[in-house]
Chain A
């Protein structure tokens, strides 16, 4: 049987949305798929050397629970329903939410983005980076990790055209 192929376009640059591309890519690779991820627009943040600065924002994101990752069980279960207007004017609210989410990630035994990214690369997942958006955002190649290929949309289709599954994330 020919090897199955998974093509992913990663377009989001927040801590929460950094997970799906790397979880799916590393798992597919473990299942024997050949995998390519095309990083473009805000997805470029996922291949920066520094992924510790990825943030998550509860602002304008009503689907995100705000729960405390510490304290007694009854306290951890409370969903803090903080209005957008307050989130928007409190300085550092996003940073606080990010700290809380990172602690929850640790508590739950969920891998860090850096680890999942490394596991993906070890499993020979190919990372293609959109050169146009690198230029558009004024990034330098030195800001990104090693092992990347810089190319354009045509390069994505070379692989995606043959892929069994293609995901836009």
Chain B
């Protein structure tokens, strides 16, 4: 998937992945896509909840080898 910016949130724990995601989205224009990589298992539910409450669209959420990959489109 194409993306405009990548955020490495590996090794960070709650609530840092969400706070960094919020900050990174702030640097994008509406419609641009942010890729986030995290290792916190709690981030799966958290990213979905963040998207739901902020109106940014979670395009995909996947796990591979203990890493979680998210693509979020800025509102």
**A contact residues vs B (CB 8 Å cutoff):** 23, 26-27, 30-32, 108-111, 116, 119, 123
- Do B22 and A111 touch across chains, with their CB atoms under 8 A apart? no
B54 within 8 A of A: yes
Chain A residues whose C-beta falls within 8 Å of the C-beta of B12 in the assembled complex: 109, 111
Give Cα distance in the complex from A30 to B20, angstroms.
Answer: 9
Minimum Cβ distance to chain A for residue B62 (Å): 21
A70 to B11, CA, bound (A): 17
Which of A23, A26, A32, A109 is the one whose CB lies under 8 Å from B54?
A32
B residues 1-39 touching A (CB-CB < 8 Å): 11-16, 18-19, 21-22, 39
- Could you tell me the distance between the alpha carbons of A30 and B18 in the complex, rounded to whole angstroms? 8
Residue of A nearest to B39 (CB): A109
Question: Interface residue count for B (Cβ, 8 Å)?
Answer: 15
Q: Are B16 and A109 in contact (CB under 8 A)?
A: yes
Other A-B pairs beyond A108-B13, A111-B13, 18, CB < 8 Å: A26-B19, A27-B18, A27-B19, A30-B15, A30-B18, A30-B22, A30-B50, A31-B54, A32-B53, A109-B11, A109-B12, A109-B13, A109-B16, A109-B40, A110-B13, A110-B14, A111-B16, A123-B19
Residue in B11, B19, B22, B54 with the greatest tally of chain A CB atoms within 10 Å: B19
Q: Tally the A-B contacts, defined by beta carbons under 8 Å.
A: 35
In B48-66, the 8 Å CB interface with A consists of 50, 53-54
Q: List 26 A-B contacts (CB under 8 A).
A: A23-B14, A23-B15, A26-B15, A27-B15, A27-B18, A27-B19, A30-B18, A30-B19, A30-B21, A30-B22, A30-B50, A30-B54, A32-B53, A32-B54, A109-B11, A109-B12, A109-B13, A109-B16, A109-B39, A109-B40, A110-B13, A110-B14, A111-B12, A111-B13, A111-B15, A123-B19
B24 to chain A, nearest CB (A): 11
When distances are taken between beta carbons in the complex, the residues of chain B under 8 Å from A32 are 53-54
Complex: how many Å from CA A40 to CA B61? Answer: 41
Q: A23 — which chain B residues lie within 8 A by C-beta? A: 14-15
Nearest Cβ in chain A — how far from B64, in angstroms?
A: 19
Question: B16 contacts A31, CB within 8 Å?
Answer: no
Q: Closest approach, in angstroms, between the C-beta of B23 and any C-beta of chain A?
A: 8
Query: Complex Cα distance A73/B16, Å?
Result: 26
